[in-house]
A and B are shown apart, each in its own frame.
Chain A
Amino acid sequence: QSALTQPASVSGSPGQSITISCTGTRSDVGGYNYVSWYQQHPGKAPKLMIYDVSNRPSGVSNRFSGSKSGNTASLTISGLQAEDEADYYCSSYTSSSTSVFGTGTKVTVL
């Protein structure tokens, strides 16, 4: 159950687009279309942003989008805003019927 690999940090200017990668294996990311993404502000509980690779829950801005290719999933934030500055985590279902989170990415809005 090794954590999925994410870049430690990603930054961008307001209005720009950024992409966060999430790399796993055939036993998790690559084997199922069950990748979710979470946003976490300091001291707060995580918030679901994307589920099942590319689905947005009601109320989440359409500036957030998800995709997957092989063993790597991606979260793209377009039109970056100051409020998007937070930690982001991916998560995947695994072949052991468990879940695994990514290492986390700190997004900084310059």
Chain B
Amino acid sequence: QVQLVESGGGVVQPGRSLRLSCAASGFTFSTYGMHWVRQAPGKGLEWVSVVWSDGIHKYYADSVKGRFTISRDNSKNTVNLQMNSLRGEDTAVYYCARGLPTAGSDYWGQGTLVTVSS
């Protein structure tokens, strides 16, 4: 069965960096795009980034462009999110999700909490 397990969350000071990882299993990882979606405490879902199956095409929300970098390793079935220059408004649960061939996501991880605070 499809499984997505995020890791790497924690408490970090403003301006510092953090790297999230998502380990995928139960499907042919190299043929799917992968998304990161976040949800601030008590707020709605916010799309963050996507990396296509080729690992070359990458897109970002305006709110994180230039600060976050998405990458994938098809040999290890992992997708990562490098988050630099973190701000308080980046505090959220970060979900990894498998992309549908068209758009949207059909499987989601359980999420990892990132708290940006001094």
Per-residue CB contact flags for chain A residues 79-104 toward chain B (1 = under 8 Å, else 0) read: 00000000101011100111111111
| Contact indicator B95/A96 (Cβ below 8 Å) | no
Chain B residue contacts of A32, Cβ below 8 A = 103
Q: How many A residues, CB 8 Å from partner?
A: 28
Interface residues of B in 96-117 (CB under 8 A from A): 97, 100, 102-111
Given A89-B44, A98-B47, A103-B44, check contact A45 B109 (CB 8 Å): yes
Given A99-B47, A100-B47, A104-B44, check contact A46 B95 (CB 8 Å): yes
Given A1-B61, A45-B95, A45-B111, check contact A101 B45 (CB 8 Å): yes
| Contact indicator A3/B100 (Cβ below 8 Å) | no
Find A101's partner among B44, B57, B109 (CB 8 Å cutoff). Answer: B44
Instruction: List B residues at the A interface (Cβ < 8 Å).
Output: 35, 37, 44-47, 50, 57, 59-63, 95, 97, 100, 102-111
Instruction: List A residues at the B interface (Cβ < 8 Å).
Output: 1, 3, 32, 34, 36, 38, 40, 45-48, 51-52, 57, 87, 89, 91-93, 96-104
